[in-house]
Structure 1
Amino acid sequence: MDKFIPVNEPNIEKSDIQSVLKVLKSGWISAEGNNVKLFEEKFSKFIGHKYGITVSNGTAALEVAIQSLNLPKDSEVIIPNFTIFSNAIACLKNNLKIKPIDCNKFDWNMNIELILKNITAKTKLIIATHIYNYPIQIEKLVKICKQKKIILMEDAAENFGQVNKDKKYGSFGDISTYSFYANKQITTGEGGMITTNSKNLYKKACNLRNLSFGKIDRFNHDDISSNYRMSNIQATLGLSQLKRIDNIVKKRHLIGRQYHKYLSSNKNIFIPNPTNNNLKNIYWVIGILILNTKLNMNAKYVMKKLKEKNIGTRPFFWPMHRQKMLKKMSFYNSKKFPNSDYISKYGFYLPSSLNLTKNKIKYISECVNEIISK
């Protein structure tokens, strides 16, 4: 391929551009525009929650959602050890103690048995983050949280649009968060959302994302909070993209199945199947894992070789226990996270843009098979 294939390109169609232009011409470009509220309503209805709260990005969604819970200082929060750093940031900013849990080697989500072993009387919240491909076993977590009286937060940023028995992921959490970054299922450039069935959490989150303006005297603020509002321009783009979410998910599945067809016969690597224990793979990213360590190559080596062939890639998440700033804290002690260590060293993901052609997928796969071979 003469032209570089990026790991992701945003899916912007003519209808998106026309919608945004219309709003620009109207002059309603800030958070005061009508499409912000409309986006919240349509999004939460799609998920199956009563309320939606737009915010400026996915990290803001986590921070506001956690702050709205008003948990006691130093409460324990169970989070994935293998995830984006935002999960940890949101907890630490709210004076909470994180308890990271290692992932499974082949679905990359938190290990449910390890979650059970790490619950204590101080555990007040579990952040159930769906990682990359398969959803976490959310129904098991719902039962655990009900039995233990623990709040369940679903971080559904990576699997928006995925369905479990006609119920959308994101609808299982007491409160749930989403991201609309450029590489997500739908994008607003930057942006995020919180959904919940709780009217109290909804009101609290609305205030926290908007500087907690006073109810009587506007500029006499009620709480320490931030300006995490979403603009009407972003909401308009989100509304336009939301209309085709079902087609976007179908396209993701198609791209993933094509990669699987070309790569699954390579015994030196692992690529997730289209389904796993009746759970459908969302293929948000096309993640692969080097299995044959005797080849003396890690993800960085393969990614460098693919770049030479004009193929963009991204490394897997850097696990929490390897984060330099978290090493200074006492969350880990002598704990081991073997699966997080392994997949962060040997895992990476391939281009997954919705506009990928079959020829490009075939070319990328051939290059992977050529590089990762005996």
Structure 2
Amino acid sequence: MSRPSITDLERKYLLDAFDSGWISSLGDYVVRAEDQLTTIASSAHAAVVSNGTAALHLALLGLDIGPGDEVIIPSTTYVATLNAVLYVGALPVIVDVDPITWCIDSEAVREALTTNTRAVIAVDLYGHPADYVLLKELCGQAGVLLIADAAESIGGSLHGMPVGVLADVSTFSFFGNKVVTSGEGGAIVTEDAELDRRVRKLRNQGNHENRRYFHDVLGYNYRMTNLAAAILCAQLERIPDLLSARQRVVDHYDRLFEGSPALTPQGRAPGASASPWMYSVQVEGAAAAQRDEIMLKLRTEGIETRPVFNTVQSMPYLTDFRAHPTPIAHNLAKSGLSLPTFPAMKPDEVEYVASSLLRACAL
């Protein structure tokens, strides 16, 4: 499905961090990575953390969201979005996604807003930015916070505005399969200096700013190591090339699937420039068993695929939630799959995946 692009630059920075002796959460590369992120996201503040889930958790904590609060989330997303809401004791309100972009449906958000709604988490599914223009308008009118789960969309933009400044706060993931990786890692970016201060305190065990080993709030060990940050710095320097290489793969898939009645790729909204993370399609008319059979067939041909995420309300441990009708998300969960997408994919490999998938759909 994915293979990280690791070069001599990552090795050079990693060994430099190693040789410096600063291998934990203090070191030049941590500061450097945060500075690079503010530039890429055009944001005033960036705080790196241990992973993308921690970033979401800290964003909610930093915004003082907790028990009694409702947080609207899309039905189609990785489970970390749901889990972060549960971590803070808030009530997840689950809504459907847009049939074209597969991101949270703005009209469904409008219908789900109540006097208890504190935040909306928009997920940039598979790298496509959500409809932040309408979402920001809705949230502004309702006095609700807008959070961007941009785990998959670094390098993307909407109407020329980069992912990272489209919401009140945005979170990134740098897991090994992401466009930019540090192995494990994440970040919170925001224009809000006070929120950034709270996030930094919470990621460091709630340590008092001026009194060593005195913790005046409940905190967490969510710090990124200098070693991980060294890898991240190299990746961030290389982000134009990483995006370009992935986009080449995505464009090739688009050409190969154009006009196919069997497949519908994830669509794109006007003004949106998606980060080319993972190419995903729907198998038209397929039930889950048929989709799974196609995936098994591809597996026998040496091609790994992934199903589109199950609806979050289908998770058996979720007991306290409110869900609105989600027919689009349910259809995606049974008929969607993601294809291998990574910078080193060669044109003939893309063609092999595409032709194998089309043959499997015809069986």
Give the distance between the partners of 1:280 and 1:215, measured in 2 at CA: 40
> Which of 190, 214, 234 is the aligned partner of 2:228?
234
Q: How many positions carry a matched residue from both structures?
A: 363
Q: Which of 323, 326, 350 is the matching residue for 1:361?
A: 350
Q: Per-residue CA shift, 1:10-60, capped at 9, x if unaligned? A: 111111111111211121111111110121122112211111111000000
Alignment check: 8 A CA contact 2:285 2:335 kept: no
Structure 1 residue 212 and structure 2 residue 201: aligned? no
The answer to whether 1:288 aligns with 2:277 is: no
Aligned alpha-carbon RMSD (Å): 1.6
Residue 170 (structure 2) pairs with residue 151 (structure 1): no
Q: Secondary structure at the match of 1:325?
A: coil
| Aligned pairs (5 A) from 1:302-313 | 302-313=294-305
Q: Which runs of 5+ in 1 are unaligned?
A: 1-6
Cα distance, 1:297 vs structure 2: 5.3
SS of 1:44's equivalent?
A: helix
Alignment match of 1:319 (pick from 305, 308, 311): 311
| Partner amino acid, structure 2, of 1:185 | V
Gaps in structure 2 of 5+ consecutive residues: none
Asked whether the equivalents of residues 107 and 133 of structure 1 are also in contact (C-alpha less than 8 Å), the reply is no
Partner of 2:269: 276
TM value normalised by structure 1: 0.93
Give the aligned partner of residue 346 of structure 1.
335
Residue 28 of structure 2 is matched in structure 1 by 34
Deviation of 1:330 after TM superposition, in Å, equals: 4.2
Deviations 1:123-165 (A, max 9, x none): 1111111101422111111111121111111111111001223
2:309 counterpart SS class: coil
Instruction: State how far apart, in whole Å, the 1-side matches of 2:281 and 2:50 are.
Output: 31
Identity rate of aligned residues, in percent?
A: 27
Task: State the secondary structure of the residue aligned to 1:132.
Answer: helix
Preserved CA contact (<8 Å) 1:156 1:169:
yes
Structure 1 residues 273-308: Cα deviation after superposition (integer angstroms, max 9, x where no partner)? 5x43242343311101111338x9532111110000
Runs of 4+ in 1 over 6 A off after TM superposition: none
Whole-Å separation in 2 of the counterparts to 1:71 and 1:347: 33
- TM-superposed deviation, 1:115: 0.5
Q: 1:187 aligns with which of 176, 181, 190?
A: 181
Once residues 94 and 258 of structure 1 are traced to their aligned partners in structure 2, the CA distance between those partners, rounded to angstroms, is 42
The match for 1:44 is 38
| Match in the other structure for 1:3 | none
Paired residue secondary structure (1:372): helix
